[in-house]
Structure 1
Amino acid sequence: MWTHIVLLIVLSICVITDLKNRKIYNIVIFPAMVFAFLFHVLSDGWAGLGFSLLGFTLGLAILIIPFLMGGMGAGDVKLLALVGALQGAEFVFSAAVYMALIGSVMALAIVLFKDGIRERLQFAGFILICLRFRIRPNLQGYWTTGAYPYGVAIAGGAAVCLWLKGWGAG
């Protein structure tokens, strides 16, 4: 239960800072990370440490490639790793599935409701034509730039998992 409370507090803070400043701060993540490892070690010894490390590693692994390719911020990677350290590998894997779904809906909404919808639809048609005729278009510039607060999707995925798995579980 304590891990759930810490997780919800951290997720709430990270959603606010990610929406406001597009940042997830280490000052929030690192103390919670220390708590996660200490809590699991003190409650289950070596098995607890293994539980926390496995969750941390899986959370890190899920987002490390998008981060290395420049599509994800380091704060997002650390936040998902924290989710894994607090809740374990099974939880972080499930949360990542919901995170991806929520992130996809967010991206679609941004594309549809951001200025220039007509140009975006024309660009999508252009890409489809290029794919059909195996032409490689130059995708650099306006169409590939822009970020959105993926911490919101991470928090949403973790919150959905907490809700579906039940507050008292874990």
Structure 2
Amino acid sequence: MRRRPVRLGMAEHDTAQGAAAFESLVSLLDYPMFIVTTRAGDQQAGCLVGFSSQTSINPPRFLVGLSRRNRTFAVAAEATHLAVHVLPREELPVARLFGGETGDDTDKFAQCTWHAGPEGLPILDAAESWFVGRITHRFDVGDHVGHLLEPVAGSAPDELRELISFSDVRDVDPGHDA
């Protein structure tokens, strides 16, 4: 379906049109989804994350957006590191667990297999690839807080299988509001 272009301008009504065009565009994109885990003291947490991206090649940096309403955000606020996991499509039940349940009510780690990794972070055994990053900066990015990561450890295969993307979890009711 072809959409008519929306011209962005400075007027207030153009701002609403710009927001509508933006929402239409991003609803068409099929972003990769990640599971982020963390630990602070004796608390561990994890959630499904769609707002993330590599931000720099040299030095290597990765940005993760965590919702302020998420238990993982609360634990991450006291943490020094995050683990970012890439899951193959056949591990969709794990993504649904971390996206559809809240750590306020459910011990997600009791329902999957994992092991302690670098910095004591929980590393999901279902992950085809993962890395641990030191949190270098936190900053407001709207209803989420950006966590800029400096990779310090990880594991990656030579090739990735088909990964879980937004279209695979679009129907998951989040464990909390955004």
Q: TM-score category by the smaller chain?
A: under 0.3
Question: Which protein is richer in helix relative to its size?
Answer: 1
Select the structure with the greater relative contact order (CA < 8 A; seq sep ≥ 6).
Answer: 1
Query: Which structure would you say has the larger Rg?
Result: 1
User: TM-score of the superposition, structure 1-length normalised?
Assistant: 0.25
Question: Which protein is richer in strand relative to its size?
Answer: 2
